[in-house]
Structure 1
Amino acid sequence: MKRLTSAQLISSVGDGAYYVSSALYFTLIVGLSPAQVGLGLTVGWAVGSAAGVALGQLADRRGPKGTAVLLALGTAASVTAFLFVDSVFAFVIAACVYACFQCGLGAARQALLAGLIDPAGRTTFRARLQAMSNAGIAIGAALGGIALAIGTREAFLTVFVVDALAFAAAALVLRKVPSVAPVPMRAGEPSVAVLRDRPYALLALLNMIMLLYMPLFSLVLPLWISTRTAAPSWLVSAMLVLNTASVVVFQVRVARGVTGLRGASRYVRHAGLLLFVSCLIFSFSAMGDSAWAAALVLLAGAALQVVGEMAQAAGSWEIGFGLAPDGKQGQYQGLFGAGTAIARMLGPVLLTGLILVGGTVGWIVLGGLFLLAGTLTAPAVRWAERTRPEAALEVSPPVPA
């Protein structure tokens, strides 16, 4: 499955370049205000999270390989459309199209993985993809950083071209992946069955809450460090490097400990506790005037946070795959993966208000959300198992009380 890994790496390079430079391009070059950019991205990811389920169902019915190829090409085209954005309206439309293709592509690739990899090996292989994704994003971020340093319109446009070419190249690689047979809809079957699966929907919601850690390193901690602590500003880069390198090196090893729904529930519960403690540690960084003391506290919190992040990822992949019925992986992964889009959409607004306004209390509330979501995951998994004994029980024994 080297081609799946290669496609993930290539597209992640484009993602990394886009993430680093896009916001400044739209504000400094296009002339949109930060609020307008935020609005466009919020609307885009909201539409994309809903479209991901429908496009995931398309992958089930038409075959995940062909769907993934088309959606990768669509992502390349949507990135190219950003080159012609010159107004708020055009940006919102382009952001919606981009988010739809991205969310749909994620669901189709997950369905393709589920169809090609034996159930016992899906989580470990997904961990390899995550490690490649982080490595690709790091490479892309370096390319985007060059554009930021140059600062010209041409430099930013080059980043978008690189992003589009990366997704086009990923589509070509995906064409060489073995096909997975489509599954026709049965008579009387609901068109989007996942929307009627309440236990799975609850697990998707809990997973979305856990994914609120995503905006921490990109937005919340940089603002926290600069406004509330005595730590040097360069520490943001050091923490990001620590996070990225840890995932690249250790994510596969962490995932090997997940062997079924029992282990997955335990990992998510532990992740909730680790993320809770990391939030407490981050809150301590505002105490005192020593730059080095604040830096050490922040690094300790970041180290604990990335361990929780890796544990949560490994557990959630096993749960997301293990509880999805055969022939419906696309739509189920579309719903489960919507947590990423929603975290990107709501996370920055929620967390900046919660942490930067609430301070220590805000950190405790956020940590409590992580702890609660992690704790509730095991009961939700048991509920889901009871509704699909023929599907989930072959993956793992029942989750203990």
Structure 2
Amino acid sequence: MESTKRLALAQLISSVGDGAYYVSSALYFTLIVGLSPAQVGLGLTVGWAVGSVAGIALGQLADRRGPKGTAVFLGLGTAASVSAFLFVGSVVAFVIAACVYACFQCGLGAARQALLAGLVDPAGRTTFRARLQAMSNAGIATGAALGGIALAIGTREAFLTVFVIDALSFVAAALVLRKVPSVAPAPARAGEPSVAVLRDRPYALLALLNMIMLLYMPLFSLVLPLWISTRTAAPGWLVSAMLVLNTASVVVFQVRVARGVTGLRSASRYARYAGALLFLSCLLFSISAMSGSAWMAALVLLAGAALQVVGEMAQAAGSWEIAFGLAPDGKQGQYQGLFGAGTAIARMLGPVLLTGLILVGGAAGWVVLGGLFLLAGALIGPAVRWAERTRSAAAAPVLAGV
């Protein structure tokens, strides 16, 4: 019990730093450093592309060296990479710093997940992961408020204080993780590929489908603000109300939603529900542009946001069960690294894909996006069954020789 409390505390502390960084970093690099928005976008795209690959290798390192020590090392590395942003003065330096930051972040996520898998009984992993998600949202909201203060002040020193807070939060989280019990490393077996997850086609397909579902991530930070301001009669402050609704709902209800996931069958069902809910939310977002009434448009958008957050919580709960449940013992790090790469790729490609699809395509773009969610959610069940069959087939020769 004490170890899980420390895992949750580490998640909360680092999330506060992340929240402060997320809301203020883009403006710091453009207004203070002098980079163009295109240059910032390029650096982040390259960074998350590199990080999505590095996360698998660093997850494999967590398997071989032990997830606790690896997570502590990567947490300190994340703090150092955040500190490096303080010295960025050119686009080249920014791209390099963004790559290093993304690599440590993706690797840290994989190592933390492997540590969780080693410390928490399989039956309780999804519920505990939901608790971590609620803690993360609470921390990000707190950090966002701190970052908002820096935005209001607007000076170089205020922005630099945010980076210092973020770096210190990762140092503090790493110190907390040092107090959790160690999980034994898994030595490599003779003749086994070093990164076995890359040969697991069903799991790779599930990671891809999960990445498609994660395309909802840029909606509240980028797409909906632009959609509301350019295509609807709704007031601009509605963006903040929708974000508060999303964050508060995850903090309050994510654990309750996750309790309904008790195995791979229920996880597949939740993924299917999530696809349908996200599809319906996209339909509501699309018709919000059809009303000339500010209040009617606002009500439609809030209804869409409510459906979206329920779909988001269902998708998260199902994906955690699948990611943990289909990862072999001793390979949680590399498997979580591949599954977690979907987050990095969604961050990398989501803004470009969704702004082009929706702001250019309009209502039809929303329908296409919703259709992608619906299709991905429906395909997760068959992909899970395929993965189960491959594992049963692999276990059969071993059982026959016993």
Q: Which TM-score applies when normalising by structure 2?
A: 0.97
CA distance in structure 2 between the aligned counterparts of 1:151 and 1:258, rounded to whole angstroms: 45
**Alpha-carbon distance between aligned partners in 1 of 2:367 and 2:286, rounded to the nearest angstrom:** 8
DSSP-derived class of the 2:272 partner: helix
> How do residues 74-89 of structure 1 correspond to structure 2 at under 5 angstroms?
74-89=77-92
The aligned runs of 1:372-391 (5 Å cut-off) are 372-389=375-392
SS at match of 1:388: helix
Aligned-pair CA distance for 1:288? 1.9
Distance in 2 between residues matched to 1:301 and 1:277, nearest whole Å: 7
Structure 1 contact 12–133 (Cα < 8 Å) conserved: yes
Pairing partner for 2:194 from 183, 191, 196: 191
How far apart are residue 389 of structure 1 and its match? 2.4
Indicate conservation of the 8 Å contact 1:323/1:391, yes or no: no
Which residue type is aligned with residue 122 of structure 1?
R
| Cα distance between partner residues in 2 of 1:390 and 1:62 | 29
Provide Cα deviations, 1:256-288, integer angstroms capped at 9, x if missing partner.
000000000000000000000000000011012
Match runs of 1:103-118 below 5 Å: 103-118=106-121
**Contact 1:41 / 1:92 at 8 angstroms: preserved in 2?**
yes
Q: Report the alpha carbon displacement of residue 289 of structure 1 after superposing the two structures with TM.
A: 1.1
How high is the sequence identity, in percent, across the aligned residues? 90
SS at match of 1:32: coil
Matches within 5 A, 1:94-109: 94-109=97-112
CA distance in 1, matches of 2:123, 2:264: 11
Rounded Cα–Cα distance in structure 2 between residues aligned with 1:390 and 1:165: 48
* Post-superposition offset of 1:355: 0.5
- 4+ aligned runs moved over 4 Å, structure 1: 390-393
1:54-69 equivalences under 5 Å are: 54-69=57-72
> Cα gap change, 1:250/1:100 in structure 2, threshold over 3 Å: closer, same or farther?
same
Equivalent position of 1:367 in the other structure: 370
Could you tell me which of 236, 246, 251 is aligned with 2:249? Answer: 246
- The DSSP-based 3-state class of the residue aligned with 1:180 is coil
> Residue 209 in 1 paired to residue 212 in 2?
yes
Query: What does residue 294 of structure 1 align with?
Result: 297
- The structure 2 residue matched to 1:327, chosen from 330, 348, 351, is 330
The equivalent residue for 2:47 is 44
For 1:398, the equivalent position in structure 2 comes to none
Residue identity matched to 1:90: A
Q: Structure 1 residues 392, 367: CA separation in 2 closer, same or farther (over 3 Å shift)?
A: farther
State the secondary structure of the residue aligned to 1:188. Answer: coil
1:279 to 277, 282, 286: 282
Question: Structure 2 counterpart of 1:179, which letter?
Answer: S
Offset, 1:292:
0.4
Which of the numbers 138, 153, 156 marks the counterpart of 1:153?
156
Give, as a single letter, the amino acid of the residue that structure 2 aligns with 1:28.
L
Q: Alignment RMSD, CA only?
A: 1.1
Residue in 1 that maps onto 2:399: none
Q: Distance in 2 between matches of 1:58 and 1:390?
A: 28
Distance in 2 separating the partners of 1:334 and 1:392:
24
| CA distance in structure 1 between the aligned counterparts of 2:85 and 2:348, rounded to whole angstroms | 19
**Post-superposition offset of 1:391:** 9.4
2:59 counterpart letter in structure 1:
G
Q: Is the 8 A contact 1:272 1:375 kept in 2?
A: yes
Matched residue type, 1:296: L
Q: SS of the counterpart of 1:243?
A: helix
Q: Following the alignment from structure 2 to structure 1, what is the Cα–Cα distance between the partners of residues 180 and 138?
A: 21
Matched, 1:120 2:123: yes
In structure 2, list runs of 5 or more residues that go unmatched. 397-402
Instruction: Measure, in 2, the Cα distance between the counterparts of 1:6 and 1:83.
Output: 27
* Aligned position for 1:140: 143
Alpha-carbon distance, 1:328 to partner: 0.1
Counterpart CA distance in 2 for 1:130 and 1:146 is: 25
For residues 323 and 7 of structure 1, what CA distance do their matches in structure 2 show?
26
Structure 1-normalised TM-score? Answer: 0.97
What is the count of residue pairs matched by the alignment?
Answer: 393
Q: What residue is the counterpart of 1:342 in the other structure? A: 345
**Is the contact between residue 323 and residue 392 of structure 1 (CA under 8 Å) also seen in structure 2?**
no
CA distance in 1, matches of 2:145, 2:223: 21
Q: Which amino acid aligns with 2:209?
A: L
Paired AA for residue 233 in structure 2? A
Q: Is the 8 A contact 1:60 1:182 kept in 2?
A: yes
Alignment of 1:313 with 2:332, yes or no, is no
Can you give the 5+ residue segments of structure 1 that lack an aligned partner in the other structure?
A: 394-401
Conserved 8 A contact 1:25-1:156: yes
Which residue of structure 1 lines up, in the alignment, with residue 134 of structure 2? 131
Does the Cα contact within 8 Å between 1:53 and 1:334 map onto a contact in 2?
yes
Q: Quote the Cα distance in structure 2 between the aligned partners of 1:133 and 1:78.
A: 21
Q: Match of 2:212, SS?
A: helix
